[in-house]
Structure 1
Amino acid sequence: MQQLTPEGEKIINDLAQRYSFTPDAVFSMLQSVINGNGSMAQFNHPEFGGSGQWMKGGMIMLSDMFNHNLKHSIGGLCQELANLVANQPGLIQRGSFQSQHQGTQQQNNDNVCHQAQNSSGPTGAFSLFVPPPAGSSGNWWPEGLPYPSSTGSQNHVRYAYFASLRRLAIELNGHVTLYDTLDHQIGGFSQQQSVGGSITFNSQYGLVDVNSLPIISIDNQAVEPATDDPPASSSLNPPSPVTSSAETREADIFSTIEKLASLKDKGILTDDEFSAKKTELLARL
C-alpha cells in the first residue's frame, strides 16, 4: 500500500473531521475509489455500516439501507475522493475508462472539490502518495499481473484479487503468496481470521479457507503441486457436476433480482438503483 505524503495525510485528516469518520476509514475508502477507477467504490468497513457500493452519479447501496445520514455522508466523501484522485497522475487507468474520467473532469467543474476550497488544504499541485523508488512499480503483488479487481488490508495482511485471471495474492509477514481461486466468485472479501489464524473469504460456496486453494507461487517463486496429495481443489468443489453449479449460480442471481425488485416496489430502492444492480447481476450469467 502506498504511503501518503504530508499533504495527503492532511487531506485525509480534514475529510475525516468534516465527515465524522476516522482517518483509517477515509483512507480505506480512498483505496476503494482508486480500485474503482474513480467512478465507483466497493467497500467494507464498520464505520460505513459494513459492505456497500458507491457509483458516480449518486447510486449508493449500504447494508444499513435505512441510515440516510450515513448514505449522505458516504456519498459526499466518495465524490470528494473521486475528484481528488482524478487530478492525481497515474491513479486513474486510461483506455476503456477514458469517458468516465472525462465525466469526472466535468463534475470537477460543476462540483468543486472541497480540498481546493479549504484554506487548510494544499492550494497548488501536490502528490497524494509518496512516489515509489526508481525502477519500482510500487505494487506489492507479483510482477506481470494487471491492476487487481479489488484490494484491502487488515491486521498486517494485504490481499489483491484478480477476478479475470482467477488469482488471489496475499501478503503476510513480508511474504507474498499467489493462489489459484479456481471457480470461486469472491465477493466482499472479508479478511476474517479464524481462531487458528487462517485467512478466509466468502464465495458462492460459503466461507472458504485460503489454505485450501492451490498455491501458484511464493515470493515470485513457482510452487510445483504435490503429486502424492489429492488436488487442493477437491474439498472445495461441490459433489455435483459443473453444470449443476452453474445452474445453482444462475438460480441465485435470479432470486437476488426478485428480492431487489421487491425492495424497489416498496420504495426502498429507486428505479436507477434497481436497474444498475440488475445489470450487474445479469452480466454474471
Structure 2
Amino acid sequence: MQELTPAAQQRVADIAARNGVSEDAVLTLLQAVSNGGGRMAQFSHPELGGMGQWSQGGMTMVGDMFDTGLKVRVDSLCTALAALLREMNPFVPPPPMQSGGWSQGHGGNWWPDGLGSPASSGAQNAMRYAYFPAHAGWRCSRTARSGSTTPRITASSASPSSRAAASR
C-alpha cells in the first residue's frame, strides 16, 4: 500500500473509529476504492466478510450475502473513502524519477519521450499500459507492485512490421 499523508492518516483513523472497524480494514478499502477511480471497489479483508465488491450508487456485495448490517457498513465506509478521494490525494507522491527521458505522475507521461502520444492508454489496479501503433505497435507497461521505475517496452506481435516479415 502506498504511504498516506498525515492528514489522510488522521481521516482513516476517524473513519475507522466512526464505523467500528480497524484501520487496516479501512486502508484495504481505501486502496480498493482508489483503484476503482472512487466509483467502485473490489476488496478482500476478513473483517469485511472476506471478498466483496462495492459500486457507487447502491451495489454492495459481501461474503455473507444475508448480512445486511455488514453491507450497510461497507457501503458507508466506501462512500466516505470515495468522498475523501474527491477532496484530496491521500497518498504521498512518489519521489521524482532520476533517469532522463522518462517522466511520470499526474499529468506527465510515464513512457519514453520519443514515443509521442499513444493511440490508447489506461490503467487497472497497479498496472498502466500504452499502445503506440505509429511505432510498429510498441507497447509500454508499468506495474507499481514490482517497484520497477522503468517501463517495460515490447513490440506487438500484430504490428505491421511483424506481419510483413511473416508473409515473406
Aligned-pair distance for 1:2?
Answer: 3.3
SS in 1 for 2:93: coil
Q: How does 1:1-285 map to 2 (within 5 A)?
A: 1-88=1-88, 128-134=90-96, 137-138=104-105, 143-144=110-111, 146-151=121-126, 160=127, 169=143, 171-172=145-146, 174-175=147-148, 219-220=150-151
Structure 1: tracts of 5 or more residues without a match: 89-126, 152-159, 177-218, 225-285
Aligned-pair distance for 1:148?
Answer: 2.4
Cα deviation per residue 1:81-106 (whole Å; 9 max; x = unaligned)? 11111122xxxxxxxxxxxxxxxxxx
Q: Against the structure 1 CA distance between its residues 132 and 223, is the aligned structure 2 distance closer, same or farther, given a 3 Å change threshold?
A: closer
Normalised TM-score (structure 2): 0.62
- Given that residues 32 and 42 in structure 1 are in contact (C-alpha distance below 8 angstroms), is that contact kept between their aligned partners in structure 2? yes
Identity of aligned residues (%): 39
Q: Against the structure 1 CA distance between its residues 56 and 171, is the aligned structure 2 distance closer, same or farther, given a 3 Å change threshold?
A: closer
Aligned-CA RMSD value: 3.4
Partner of 2:114: none
Structure 2 CA distance for aligned equivalents of residues 9 and 47 of structure 1:
19
Structure 2 CA distance for aligned equivalents of residues 161 and 63 of structure 1:
29
Structure 2 CA distance for aligned equivalents of residues 137 and 169 of structure 1:
12
- Given that residues 142 and 152 in structure 2 are in contact (C-alpha distance below 8 angstroms), is that contact kept between their aligned partners in structure 1? no
Normalised TM-score (structure 1): 0.39
Aligned-pair distance for 1:48?
Answer: 1.6
Aligned length: 131
SS in 2 for 1:137: coil
- Given that residues 29 and 78 in structure 2 are in contact (C-alpha distance below 8 angstroms), is that contact kept between their aligned partners in structure 1? yes
